[in-house]
Structure 1
Amino acid sequence: MPATSLANHLLVALPSLDDPNFARSVVLLCQHDADGAMGIVVNRASEYRLGEVLSQVGLQDGNESLREQPVLGGGPVHPERGFVLHDGERDWESSLAIADSLRITTSRDVLEAMTKGEGPERAVVALGCASWGAGQLEYELGENTWITVPADMELLFALPLEARWQAAAGRIGVDLARMADYSGHA
């Protein structure tokens, strides 16, 4: 098991990270233990709107603001799977508690509730996720690929997607614009 679980933390890609899947990304870690880590990229829109995703799973909704909500590109792993990141303490059929009032749900029932106006107060849908094998994330952290920041609800649900990378780093006083896009080791 890692010395400290980083679940409910944000991984903020440093400018030197040039992997196209993660460059300038912010990842909410949902799970982190001895077997590895899993998270959702929370600052990249996919090409889909929520209405399209709901339609693909046979759900219709008359709420235009819900239909027009961007769907996040949650990561390169399982891009066909939907993940609903939401607030509240309610557990749906398949929910994982990340923090006291933060959950990730992969079951259809949360989407059905959202279309009826009975879902979580704040929710975003992502397609795909990010994952790391045992020790892989710890290695990347040691290589200065990421910085970690405690997650907060404002960043996850209120800030515009394009502002999240810089804002997340700013939460711990890091100005990414002043950092070099390469890393070195002494």
Structure 2
Amino acid sequence: MNGASLQGKLLVAAPTLTDPNFARAVVLMLDHDENGALGVVVNRPTPVDVTEVLPLWSELVTGPQVLFQGGPVSLDSALGLAVVPGSAEPLGWRRLYGGLGLVDLDAPPEVLAAELGSLRIFAGYSGWGPGQLEQELREGAWYVVDAEPQDAFSLRPERLWRDVLRRQRSELALLSTYLEDPTLN
């Protein structure tokens, strides 16, 4: 791996990235080192209500209370991403960076209920082998931008791709107006 870790950054899919798993995706990077990278797509809500899969956690989930498709890897597994304000590290939660961490979804929810500020549950994740993400970045498939605390828990995830691009102080802001189907222009 050349360069700094992208942990805590957002990968925003370039308009030319047409892979259906990642077209218009916003990926929050959870881990990135010489062994590869791992993140979750934060703007892909599914129609599956959390109560159908993890009923004990459903009341703690930040709206919309549905599962999000975190990526194409291990779709049969769930990953809980949560904010715990302050410096506490409650049992059943592992800090990634800042106040963001992973929730042990096998733990009883009542153990964490009082500590959680926001919670979202993802089916699957996005993963890259050693050097794979760096190659995609060289090819221009992704834009790397700073994440804001609310991005992973956006109440309007369907607008997140445009919103993240629009707030950039560069030519990336112009891409927020890029049509999904440029032939409609």
TM-score w.r.t. length of structure 1? 0.81
From 66, 70, 73, give the equivalent of 1:74.
70
From 140, 152, 157, give the equivalent of 1:156.
152
Residues 167 and 180 of structure 1, relative CA distance in 2, 3 Å threshold? closer
Mapping 1:1-40, distance limit 5 Å: 1-40=1-40
The separation in 1 between residues aligned to 2:133 and 2:61, in whole angstroms, is 36
1:101 counterpart = 2:99? yes
Query: Taking every aligned residue pair, what percent have the same amino acid on both sides?
Result: 33
Query: Partner amino acid for 1:72?
Result: F
- Asked if the contact 2:50/2:57 (under 8 Å) is kept, the reply is no
Shift of 1:170: 2.3
Task: Give the corresponding residue for 2:142.
Answer: 146
Stretches of structure 1 that go unaligned for 5 or more consecutive residues are 182-186
Deviations 1:101-136 (A, max 9, x none): 11123442264546xx43511111111000000000
Residues 27 and 64 of structure 1, relative CA distance in 2, 3 Å threshold? closer
User: How large is the RMSD of aligned CA atoms in angstroms?
Assistant: 2.6
Shift of 1:159: 4.1
Query: Partner amino acid for 1:105?
Result: V
Shift of 1:94: 6.1
Residues 92 and 82 of structure 1, relative CA distance in 2, 3 Å threshold? farther
From 112, 119, 130, give the equivalent of 1:134.
130
Higher mean C-alpha deviation, range 65-74 or range 147-156: 65-74
Stretches of structure 2 that go unaligned for 5 or more consecutive residues are 181-185
TM-score w.r.t. length of structure 2? 0.82
Higher mean C-alpha deviation, range 158-167 or range 169-178: 169-178
